[in-house]
Every structure is written in C-alpha cells, then in structure tokens.
Amino acid sequence: MKKFLNYLVRWLLPLALTILLVSYMFRKVNFAEMWRLITHGVDYWWILCAMGISVLSHIFRALRWRIQLYSLDIKPPLMAVICSIFGTYALNLVFPRLGEVWRCTYIAGREKKPLTEVLGSMVADRLSDTLMVLLLVLLTFILAAPALEAFLTKYPVGQDFVNLMRNPWAWTALFGTIMATWGVFYLWRDTTPIRKTRQWVGEMWRGFAVVTRMEGKWAFLAYTFAIWGCYYVQLYVAFFAFPFTRELCSDPHLGFGLVPCLVAFVLSSIGMAVPSNGGLGPWNIAVIFGLAVYGISEAQGTAFSMLQWSGQTVMLIILGIFTMIYISLSKQKTPKTENV
C-alpha cells in the first residue's frame, strides 16, 4: 500500500493534473482558429531565438550551482554540471520533480560525495528562485496591479490563500505543529531513527547554508538575475512571433509589451509550482490568462502558449539526448582525463 501511494503521488497525480488542466484549457478553444493562427502569420525565427535563450538560462543555472558545489568541496567538470541541468528539465517532462533528485544523485555519485549535501545545495538553489518569484510578484503589483486583481477575482483560490494567512487559527496550528515536532526530536533524541534523521538534516543544512558563507556570493547573485532575465526575455522575444502579441510590443502605454509580458511571466512562474509534466497545463493557462487581461482571445492565447511550450519542449528533448550521449561517453574516461 505504501509503495502504491508513493507511486500515486509521484507519477499518477501529476499526470492526472496535466490531463485535467489541458482538457480545461481546450474546453472553449476553437481548434480551427488556433491551428490557423499557428500555421499562418507566425515568424518562427523568434521561436527559435527563444529556444536559444532558454539554453543560455540553463548554462547560467549550471554556473550558479557550480559555485555552491565548489564551496562544499565538490568539483565536477563544468560540462557535467551543465548536462545535469539539461537532464533535470528533460526528465521533468516525463516525471515532474524527478529531475531535481536525479541531478543531485548524478553529481553525488560521480564525485563520490554525500547525497544529502548535494541535495541541500539544490534546496538553496531553488529557494533563491522562490525569492526571485516573490520579488517579481511585488514588481508586478507595482506595475500591473489591475491585472493581478483581475486574476484573484477570476480565480478565488488566490484570495482564499490570502484569507488563510490572515486566520489566527492557521498560525496557531502551525505553531503547535512546530512545537510537537521539536518535542518528538527532544524526548526521543537518543533513539536510532531520530539520530539518523538529525544527521540527515545536518548534512542537508550544510549544503543549504553554504550560500551564506561561500566565496562568489556576488557571482551567485549575478547568475540568479541572469537566469531569470533569460526566462523573461525568452517570453518577450516570443511576443514578436505572433501579430497579436507583436501589437502589444508597439504600444507605449503598455511599456512596449514589457508590462503584459511581465504579467504573463509572473503568473506562469507561479503556475509552474503545480506539479505537471513539463509545466503543460498550469503554465499554459497562466499565460493565456495573462494575455487575456490585455485583450488577447483564448484561441490566440492558447496558440501562443502551445507554440512557445512546444518549442521549449523540443529543445529540452534535444538537450536530454545530448546529456545521455555525454554521460555515456564520460563513463569511458577516467576522472583524471575528463577535463571538460
């Protein structure tokens, strides 16, 4: 039963969410109109440009993670770190979140280092992304407050979350849970399971806390902005592929498309928190809504989101194949001869 539930949560639930959200997305879409939009009037060079920028974002992410790994005295070749990032996103297309575990397992096994330390560095890596999303949400509230208000009005779950955060009983329950957990770890601190758990948490924390004391903190920050800058620019570049989004880029009242792109970008970043195969479903719905705020129809928004998502997916598949080839070839070399 435990294995079945684990399988259900890890694989079947994301797949079910993907199918549910995709069916919701296509429920009211005119497929003939969407197909016409994709096959006529699209400048695919901009889509290819967006695909290239996405590769650059993965390389920046690898360079940022390498700083953390070096601080833990884990020194894999740069190409190995880059391919671990490529493989992460390729695997996430099939098994959501599995890619994150795989990249840590790959690097830890390759360098013969504790997996928990590498996992801790990955947690810090993702936490920095979470902080960037929060900063972008704040920026969007300043520049495009009406768009976010419309989002909360149409999707009350956002307002429900805000109300939950204001509920004193929710904070009381959270405090009680923390105290109960602390009590268990204190009262049974000498038992084997608690000792092993504390050791595991300690190793995880070492990998996480390295960000605060590592060399290259400014480079880490610069790469963080570079990563998210690439994410934003690749979406903005895709605006020039379609006539209807290109019009937004010619409107000075909308910041020449920068503000609508920011709204769609922030909503899609939040949507990626929903576990699905490669973001299919929640990412698209968020982009469609972000564009709808500025007068883009559902058929147009769906065409835009599906083409942009498809371009990124093709690129990730290519990068995944490249990663498999690299790993296969690197196994034939010794660590002393592999310098790339």
- Tens-digit pLDDT profile for residues 98-142: 788 889 989 988 888 888 878 877 877 887 888 888 888 788 778
Q: What is the pLDDT of residue 337?
A: 45
* Per-residue confidence (pLDDT) for residue 15, from 0 to 100: 54
The stretches in the chain having pLDDT less than 50 are 2, 4-5, 7-11, 335-340
Q: Is the dihedral of CA 163, 167, 173, 176 positive or negative?
A: positive
Residue 48: predicted pLDDT = 94
Residue 15 lies in a domain: no
User: Taking the model in full, what pTM does it have?
Assistant: 0.75
* pLDDT for res 57: 95
Q: Residues 231-273: pLDDT tens digits?
A: 999 999 999 999 999 999 988 887 888 989 998 898 888 877 6
Q: Which of 314, 322, 254 is nearest to 48 (CA)?
A: 314
How far the first Cα of the chain sits from its last, in Å, is 45
Do the domain assignments include residue 140? yes
Structural domain includes residue 5:
no
Percent share of the chain, pLDDT over 90: 20
Give, in order, the Cα–Cα distances in Å from 243 to each of 141, 240, 252, 300: 27, 7, 17, 10
Residue 319 confidence (pLDDT): 92
pLDDT in tens, 266-282: 888 887 766 665 666 77
User: Helix or strand or coil: residue 211?
Assistant: helix
> C-alpha angle 157/12/152, rounded to 5°?
10
Cα 31-306-277 angle, rounded to 5 deg: 120
Residue ranges making up the domain that contains 151: 39-330
- The pLDDT of residue 17: 54
The residue type of 245 is T
In a domain, 26, yes or no: no
- Asked if residue 7 belongs to a domain, the reply is no
204 lies in a domain? yes
Q: Is residue 130 part of a domain?
A: yes
Residue identified by tokens 């070399």 is 333
* Tally of domains within the chain: 1
Retrieve residue 18's tokens. 């993907």
In a domain, 73, yes or no: yes
pLDDT for res 5: 47
CA distance linking residue 93 with residue 82, whole number of Å: 18
